[in-house]
Structure 1
């Protein structure tokens, strides 16, 4: 079988913290004959993967360079600070950045938040990855600020997290190469946007033409129009027995002669 004859498939990339399960399930229900292949990719490498043709579309974190990439923002994540379970931060429901002023806050090289001014005191070295930073938090080296999905992804029994109120937020988007907006990409966009299977957008099936409505019969069947001069189907005027009114139906015979 040549490459041109190979069965089509859809390659979907996703960065750490994104869970594409819901959209994959809908794809498999609507397009069961076209396999969807998932590709896990580090956030920093996602855009180059799309540009290089390694995936048809991907769930990425904003911002996106829209010079050559298209993007549909999907949702904004809560930012949290990850701490040991016995840390003082656990005594409150949420934390402000100024509350971390005296803490060592780790900033890994694969950080996904766009900081204007990072909170806390910097560590001597930046961890290579978020996973490495989580290990350092567990060792009591410092704290870590990440999107909530990453805190869940790297969950440990000895760690917990609290929302950080005045931190930048991470936004997740669906992105793809603009010049490669294929039919399959349009199909997946429809799924992400929540379009129904009969939507007129993309390649979705058009609704069946409306059938002409049958003429509704009158209740009780058709009724004959009463003849002129009659009401309710009875002759108008008085009965022949009244001595006046309609013409008599027959003439009387001659009286017999007496013998």
Structure 2
């Protein structure tokens, strides 16, 4: 191997809240010779990381500027409100955004929800991160609205969360630099989209040996034995032409009976 040659690898960025275990497992099963490196990145920094080629592809949150990035939307998350367990909202299964109008709702600088106008009453200062905002909720300073995966990520025993209706929702997408759609990127896209290893669109599918009509006919012929229907049919035909009847007589064509010879006068 020369100094210019490098072993192939794949760098996958991901924002907080995205679960990768399923896709990582499938990648390792299908491409065991290609190491997969995970690159954690904040939601705000993810697009810039891809543009700078800090990762080959990444899971990020929409919307993003797609001028030079390709993106495949994957799923939309439910928005929830993180609250202390003894809060009045905890008694309900879900609440509307209007029901939080009198509460202080924290709006961290790394918020991933696009608000035209943040709900509730604003706090004196905006927390720097979602993790900081969760600490403030636990301290009784206010409430926090986040995608459900982030509420699970920052779970605390003294906090819970409930679904909120009438709010923006976060969409997760797989993205990569448009001019760097490599074969490995195509492989990962296939995994995320659920293509099987033998998919006709996959690069690594194993070709099947073509079966000719002659081969199929030979296979069928070789599979027949004297005990098959064809063998039995041939046996019956042979029995009709030269075999004996169950009564012991000939089963061939009958000859006319010979009469007594006539006397000559």
In structure 1, the residue matched to 2:6 is 6
Q: Quick one: which of 239, 250, 253 aligns to 2:255?
A: 239
CA distance in 2, matches of 1:80, 1:96: 10
CA distance in 1, matches of 2:2, 2:158: 53
1:215 offset after TM fit, Å? 3.0
In structure 1, the residue matched to 2:84 is 84
- Do 2:136 and 2:142's aligned partners in 1 also have CA atoms closer than 8 Å? yes
SS where residue 175 of structure 2 aligns? strand
Distance change >3 Å, CA 220–CA 2, structure 1 → 2: closer
1:66 offset after TM fit, Å? 2.2
- Do 1:183 and 1:202's aligned partners in 2 also have CA atoms closer than 8 Å? no
Alignment coverage as a number of residue pairs: 241
List per-residue Cα deviations over 1:205-231 (Å, max 9, x = no partner).
Answer: 24312333223346252728969xxx6
The two structures have a TM-score, normalised by structure 2, of 0.85
Is the aligned partner of 1:150 residue 2:150?
Answer: yes
CA distance in 2, matches of 1:2, 1:145: 53
List per-residue Cα deviations over 1:81-131 (Å, max 9, x = no partner).
Answer: 000111001010001000000000001010000112321011111111101
CA distance in 2, matches of 1:118, 1:195: 40
Listed as ranges, the gaps of 5+ residues in structure 2 are: 243-250
* Structure number, greater radius of gyration: 1
In structure 2, the residue matched to 1:223 is 234
Listed as ranges, the gaps of 5+ residues in structure 1 are: 245-251, 253-259
CA distance in 1, matches of 2:3, 2:144: 47
